[in-house]
Amino acid sequence: MRLLVREPGPGSLTPTQRRLGRDWRLATLFLAPTAVLVGVLVLVPIVRSMITSTTERHGSESVFVGLDNYLALAGDDQFRTGVVNSFVFTAYAEIFKVVLGLAAALLLHNLGRGRALLTGLLLVPWVVPTVVTAFSWRALLDPIFGSVNTLLTASGIGPLLASTHLVDAWPAGWLSDASLAMPSVILVNVWKGVPFFTVCFLAGLKAIPTDQYEAATIDGASALQRFLHVTLPGLRHVITVTVTLSSIWTFNNFDLIWLLTQGGPGDVTAPYVLVAYSKAILQLQYGAGAAVTLVMLPVIAGLVFFLVRLLRQDAGAGPGRVPLWPFGVLVAGLLAWASPHIFWKAALILGVILLIAAAVGRVVSVLQDKGGRRTSSVVSRTGRGVALTGLLAFVLGPLYWIAVTAFKTEGQVVARVDDLWPAPWTWEQFGALFTNQPFGRWYLNTLMVSAASTIVALVCAALAGYALARLRFRGAQGFTVTVLLTYVMPGALLFIPLYQLLIGVRLTDSLWSLVVTYPTFTIPFATWLLAGYFSSIPADLEEAALVDGCSRVQAFGRVVLPLAKPGLLAVALFTLTNAWNEFLFAFVFITKDEFKTLPVGMQSMIAGDVVPQGQLAAASLLVSIPVVVIYAFGQRFLTEGLTAGAVKG
């Protein structure tokens, strides 16, 4: 019979333990690294940004101007346009990512053989660096030479789009036409974001008990009723977390839009982050740039409050649930007002998708009711196969184009011959890449920075996550909220004060500037995920180790860490990918070729209208292969880590 460790009663605690908590000493030790890094790299820069926003630069000096920078934003057309663009970009992207991500997750969840392979393939767009995404889609959407216009023209769809006024002219200038640029940028963001939603929703579907579906089926519920009354309520927590966090990331997106359009044509795709970058970095008006980022802080705080409120409701705390439909109506109304030229097109596409899904589901239900189970099974499998084929074509098409372009001769690339299959295959572009560019140096820089960032994040997050999940000390809830706030804090808010800080300590144009600043976005997420994962590990396993004579630290190292391997590997995958793909900090802090990372180095290969597409395709392939291989081997641990960590935590 195994004895469990009993917690000391109130009488056995020292006065300090009663005041600060039973485990305050160990908690202080475990939380110190994260607290120092978060304090120095996030909280202090935010305070400094607030101070900077009250100043204006005159020559080499900064003059205090109070609230003038904020008041000036009220009449700044560029700022207003940037805010509207950020809202439109985010809202449409999130709607389509939820619909397509949920559809993909349902298709994969009900799939038997090949599910792991298909899930891995769907993850590829999310894994590949943003610069690869932007380059491939810029080439595909080129109005004259792009494969999209070529295929649409050959199929007759392109002229049909023009005749129905879905596009103004043909061939379409997807990124250069003011009416098409924003929808095109949204499309690329959806392409890159759907895999993350799919993986999160898959993890949520696995957590829904199968007996709920069986009970609903026995009660006579149709497939649609089971989806509405079992699946959606079961995914409420996952959808809330995923959409809220993704909305914050999308709202503060800089790299994808910059690499695709640089905010053009005009300012039709320029988000507020690009406005802040233009004022602070290009015009050297740090105060005005800081004001742009800080004035959006209440929006982010509102999203965080909304997230916490819904999570508390899911946990059974607080008042009754807040209905979501008024929020949806509000968003739809704002979208119709802010972007009427996009709204009806998006509504049409969504309507077609939902009608097709509903029609297939209805046919299957009718066939099942009439006893035609074999026929309904054939219809269901056919519909699933067609949907998966279309989804894979959408996901893998741009990546296939990169792969074949990388092995073409320069003549084939320029002449646009053998677009879908090189003839002959050649290594010419890879040789030119290493000959004409310091690509090897960029690769080594990225590898070193990503490895260092991953190690720092794992060590700090494992200690802090364990303390928040297991130890009892005063201030635990406050520290958890602080970690969540810093996690959702956008790089757009931090890059200006961090840039000033790095200039002050002379760390710009060095790899140390990236190693020092990357913990701002790696540690908070890693801590949050691991805290949820540690909470899912049965406490009695640790208590048994304590009974056997282990100290708390020994139990953590010998029992908890081995059991948390899926969570640790999931954190490592996320951290490595984020560091490998990071663009904004590297773009702002690094200007010398010898210190550039791969995303910034590849962007610098484009000089005006001169785009070395073959070399960029070869570079994209070499940049993407390592992370794709790592995810292929670590996919199982990623799903387990999400299920027990971010989803349940």
Q: What pLDDT does residue 631 have?
A: 72
Q: What pLDDT does residue 80 have?
A: 92
Split at pLDDT 50, 70, 90, the class of 448 is: very high
Give me the DSSP letters along 474-517: TTHHHHHHHHHHHHH--HHHHHHHHHHHHHHTT-SSSHHHHHHH
SS3 for 190-218 is HHHHHHHHHHHHHHHHHCCCHHHHHHHHH
More confident call, 369 vs 438: 438
Contacts of 646 (CB under 8 A, 6+ apart): 200, 203, 241, 528, 529, 532
CA atoms of 514 and 450, how far apart (whole Å): 9
Helix (H) or strand (E) holding 64: strand 61-64
- The pair of structure tokens assigned to 498 is 């961090």
Q: What pLDDT does residue 640 have?
A: 56
Most confident residue range from 194-198, 281-285, 313-317, 323-327: 194-198
What does each C-alpha distance from 461 to 359, 467, 506, 524, 534 come to in angstroms? 47, 10, 28, 8, 11
Q: What pLDDT does residue 438 have?
A: 92
Split at pLDDT 50, 70, 90, the class of 4 is: very low
| Predicted TM-score (pTM) of this structure | 0.82
Q: What would the mean pLDDT of 184-196 be, rounded to a whole number?
A: 92
- The pair of structure tokens assigned to 128 is 């590949």
Q: Is pLDDT at 73 greater than 70 in this prediction?
A: yes
Which pLDDT tens digit goes with each residue over 262-312? 888 888 999 998 998 888 888 888 898 889 988 887 877 776 676 666 655
Which pLDDT tens digit goes with each residue over 461-481? 999 999 988 888 888 878 877
Which pLDDT tens digit goes with each residue over 581-612? 888 899 989 988 889 999 999 988 887 667 78
The region of weakest confidence among 394-403, 571-580, 607-616 is: 607-616
CA atoms of 498 and 512, how far apart (whole Å): 13
Q: What pLDDT does residue 511 have?
A: 92
CA-nearest of 98, 82, 96, 181 to 141 is 181
CA-nearest of 170, 183, 172, 169 to 141 is 172
**For the chain, counts of helices (H) and of strands (E):** 35, 2
Q: What would the mean pLDDT of 612-628 be, rounded to a whole number?
A: 86
DSSP state of 173: -
Split at pLDDT 50, 70, 90, the class of 112 is: low
Q: What would the mean pLDDT of 156-185 be, rounded to a whole number?
A: 82
Q: What pLDDT does residue 319 have?
A: 47
Q: What pLDDT does residue 324 have?
A: 63
The residues with which 58 forms a beta bridge, in sequence order, are 61
Q: What pLDDT does residue 6 have?
A: 47
Q: What pLDDT does residue 472 have?
A: 83
Q: What pLDDT does residue 373 have?
A: 63
Query: Is 629 exposed, middle or buried, given 0-12, 13-18 or 19+ CB atoms closer than 10 A?
Result: exposed
CA atoms of 621 and 398, how far apart (whole Å): 12
Which pLDDT tens digit goes with each residue over 419-432? 678 888 899 999 99
Which pLDDT tens digit goes with each residue over 318-368? 445 556 667 677 878 888 888 888 888 888 888 887 787 777 666 666 666
Split at pLDDT 50, 70, 90, the class of 129 is: confident
CA atoms of 93 and 249, how far apart (whole Å): 11
Which pLDDT tens digit goes with each residue over 402-413? 888 889 888 887
Question: What average pLDDT is seen over the chain?
Answer: 81
What does each C-alpha distance from 588 to 106, 129, 314, 520, 592 come to in angstroms? 41, 17, 40, 15, 11
Query: Is 227 exposed, middle or buried, given 0-12, 13-18 or 19+ CB atoms closer than 10 A?
Result: middle
